[in-house]
A and B are shown apart, each in its own frame.
Chain A
Amino acid sequence: MLAACGLQSVEDLYNHLPDEVLLKRPLAIPDGLSEYEIAAWFKDQAARNANGCASFLGAGVYSHYRPVLCDVVVSRGEFLTSYTPYQAEFAQGTLTSIFEFQTMICQLTGMEVANASMYDGSTAVPEAAMMAARITGRHRFLAAANLHPEYREVLDTAARNARLEVDAFGYDAESGRFDLAALEAKLDSSVACVIVQSPNFFGVIEDVKAAAEIAHKHGALLVVVFTEAVSLGLLEPPRDADIVVGELQSFAISPSYGGPFAGIIATREKYMRQIPGRLVGETKDADGHRAFCLTLSTREQHIRREKATSNICTNQALIALMATVFMSVYGKQGLRELASQNLAKAHYLASGLDLPFSGPFFNEFVVNPRGRTPEEANAALLEKQIVGGLPLGRFFPELSGSLLLCATEMSRRADMDAVKEVLL
């Protein structure tokens, strides 16, 4: 091969680079390992993490059972090792599954257009906010204080760089829901969108209708965020929203120490040209058969460059595929039954405990451990091989005596009884 290239040695492949840029020593990285050694190394690392514990952590990342088929499908090389489906004739598998994904996200959220997925829920929030800014020509965002605090931080970072402002409005200390009066007080004609989460970070279901009414009265859009996708099996979707943003981790995606996940962004048909990211559309091939392709690409960076809706190049195709298989396996009946089980488990866990908020909750809630700090309660639980809840003081100083607890269909009654014993 070297001879065919007209070269004498492998050094000739790169010795045209200026001498001063060449690395004159081997990389300081140990010699290669065999497959067996690599597997063993990662197993050793995994052993230093929480293992074999029951966990009641939620807060944006949920432990749900993953049907076996999900992993089987995403492990197929034709999906795993394919590229973004620019060459439609050769990528109908990916394109068809994304079209199904977009459809199911619309069905779930009550929206009319959903894109092919975003990086994750947190990064989808600023994308939705920027979209609202483009639509309204306004520059201020109002975010509920009970939005996931890390989502809020991601929004702050993006807004700061885009010279846009984020302001928060508070929550009602009694119900745990956003404070409607506080929202109204901050709304004016500079607000592009109001951002609320439901169920919110405390697990409480919000009054989306009221938020929509008041936002629309001031010409602002309403962005509704969800982090627990399973809740949509049972909860009325945010039909009054203009943009819905969410995280699909609950749909078969392992917690994986925080990623990779898949976010969604869905909206009304009239805003379709302002949605960022990939969109798949239906069309026909030259023989008249139904076919799918990427469409409305002129919104994207590779064509519009600095005028694009976003710099995003990819979606999270493989993760979205996993969620699509999950939704197919559970289906209409299963998703509702799954959500009902989550509701039942969480309400069993909550019964008798000291809950500071009165608002309705799905599978997560805030609890005040009796006679212990949250940290002490967690330490006591860990002795029983249980990872407890998330102490909220880190994000909400006023809730430093509280834990955020989550139960799913995976939570066993015996473990829940053990938790109740410590927190009661």
Chain B
Amino acid sequence: MPKTLGKIRPHLTQDEQLLFELSSPGKKGYQLPALDVPEVDPASALGSENVRAAIEHFPEVSEVEVIRHFTRLSTWNYGIDLGLFPLGSCTMKYNPRINEAVARTEGLAWAHPYQPEALSQGAMEVVAILEQYLGEIFGMDAVTLQPAAGAHGEYTGIMLVRAYLEAQGNPRKKVLVPDSAHGTNPATAFMAGYDVQTLKSNDSGMVDPAVLAAAVNEDVAALMVTNPNTVGVFEENIVQIAGIMHEKGAQVYMDGANLNALVGIARPGDFGVDVLHSNLHKTFSTPHGGGGPGAGAVGVRSHLEPFLPTPRLRRDGELWAWDYDRPQSIGRVRAFYGNFGVLVRALAYILAHGGEGLRNATIDALLNANYIRARLEEHYQIAYNARSMHECVFSDVRQEKQGVRTGDIAKRLIDYGFHPYTVSFPLIVHGALMIEPTETEPKAELDAFCDALIAIAREIEADPETVKKAPHMTRTSRVDEVAAARKPKVRWTPQA
């Protein structure tokens, strides 16, 4: 193997066993203070039938082994801190460390959710201000911050639609979902008790108003639309689409996964959306952390406000109070008040940028995506000719002729030191390569990324096998997912 490839040079990583294999009896990595009260015998306090024996095979390791273990593991990962992370529709932007610092502020991090409201005013103020700013960004009349993640926000949003329609006398039966939508949309609609009807996209990858109009009737509760949609294109007929829905008494739900393309430029509430969710771990820079925690803010127009989950913040004289008396509410969607620690981080991001800074970030995100598109269009087939917003989607049709698919190109990109783009999504694009750079990236990183994809396109012409067997430069070579699924082994057990 070559010693360098693009920006990559190999370096040594440490091998490491699992904690259970590192363990030996009696090793420990903790200290507890001496007990300042009398000891209590567990068997007599709890009943011997309620006291467990030692936890079999639970780790027994020293402190230095713990830190080395997890540090070694960390070096097998890739993160935004290491470079461009172009996952389309995932908005992998820089996670400012000031966010982490303020989330650890003593009086916030250690605030108990049941401490008296009079002693929680600072935490409640954080929630109130974030609700206000997000409402302004969304163009919405009210915002709830209770949902724990994007999918949870989606679920909350569709429950709001159902509650509203129920209050009108008929919850209706169906939710319309474009064929380009993320899989959570149909899954969510189904969980909320709706049948799902798929809408075929038009030649530009957009919702076709004529197809929509033919599908909408008194049975349709809502349309779930992503805008910009999953091919990175702004739904240019969105106002007309909303009109078609509203005329039949149906609601427009917007999946805010791609909100990073709109902040400061256009507001969903202004183009006819009734309810949307936004993943704070995308547009508002809270860390993905390898898959959570996130937070799913939900914004609504005023007609849906009475149905928002309990509790809601309300002003009680000079103080904030939680209002649990909300007779039309859909109820509680999560214990306590949402992922507060994530909310703190998102608010820190908004405070750091200010209104103008947020708009500038959007413009940079659009510019970066269009720059990548311009550089790669000659080498990869763009999926749709419509103008790109914050991401661009290519198809692998040219590379497929050499037997190389998008998944192979993705693995080869790893060899060049980049996390892959989103592979094979959206489903309406044949062998999709979905690329979202975000505003984070400097031009040099974008160029290195484009150079890598161009180099791979050339490799595919000259030597497709190298690409098909990638990655070659990683510590772990291609992982056998088939074997994992055929005989699932989802926990460690001692060898017999």
Contact = CB atoms under 8 A, between A and B. Distances in A.
Direct contact of A and B (CB under 8 A): yes
A27 B136 CA distance: 7
B67 A27 contact: no
Interface stretch (A16-24, A135-143, A167-175, A212-220): A16-24
Contacts, number: 634
A424 interface: no
Interface stretch (B182-190, B246-254, B453-461): B182-190
Given A285-B480, A302-B182, A362-B46, A331 B27 contact: yes
A144 to B, nearest CB: 16
A27 B109 contact: no
Interface string A286-311: 11010111011110111111111011
A77 B81 contact: yes
B77 A27 contact: no
Interface in B317-350: 330-342, 344, 348, 350
Interface string A32-49: 110101110111111111
Contacts of A316: 289, 291-293
Interface in A195-212: 205
Most buried by A among B77, B339, B492: B77
Contact of B239 (A18, A340, A382, A416): A18
Interface stretch (A151-159, A181-189, A366-374): A151-159
Given A235-B52, A331-B58, A4 B149 contact: no
Nearest to B87: A83
Given A18-B239, A23-B266, A89-B411, A313 B474 contact: no
Nearest to B22: A328
Contact of A27 (B70, B355, B373): B355
A50 B270 contact: no
Interface stretch (B2-10, B115-123, B213-221, B298-306): B115-123
Nearest to B34: A341
A300 B187 CA distance: 9
Contacts of A250: none
Contacts of A412: 36
B26 to A, nearest CB: 8
Contacts of B69: 328
A65 to B, nearest CB: 8
A97 interface: yes
Contacts of A328: 19, 29, 59, 61, 66, 69-70
B420 interface: yes
Given A22-B266, A150-B332, A151-B335, 19 more contacts: A16-B234, A26-B359, A28-B355, A30-B351, A46-B105, A61-B114, A69-B63, A81-B79, A89-B474, A91-B76, A96-B16, A161-B159, A232-B55, A258-B113, A278-B291, A283-B480, A289-B476, A306-B196, A314-B151
A22 B265 contact: yes
B165 interface: no
A60 B387 CA distance: 50
Contacts of A53: 119
A156 to B, nearest CB: 6
A282 to B, nearest CB: 4
A177 to B, nearest CB: 12
Given A38-B352, A283-B481, A43 B489 contact: no
Contacts of B154: 311
Most buried by B among A22, A94, A160, A259: A259
Contact of B290 (A82, A258, A286, A302): A82
B47 interface: yes
Interface in B392-414: 410-411, 414
A197 B112 CA distance: 21
Interface in B94-149: 95, 98, 100-116, 119-123, 125-126, 133, 136-137, 139, 148-149
A21 B239 contact: yes
A80 B95 contact: yes
Contacts of A317: 289-292
B266 A122 contact: no
B61 A331 contact: yes
B367 A2 contact: yes
A41 B104 CA distance: 13
Contacts of A43: 105
A8 interface: no
A255 B335 CA distance: 13
A160 to B, nearest CB: 7
A344 B476 contact: no
A341 B32 contact: yes
Given A23-B267, A48-B122, A295-B490, A327 B289 contact: no
B58 A332 contact: yes
B479 A50 contact: no
Contacts of B488: 272, 279, 281, 295-296
B495 interface: no
A91 B412 CA distance: 15
Interface in A320-374: 321, 325, 327-338, 340-341, 343-345, 347-348, 360, 362
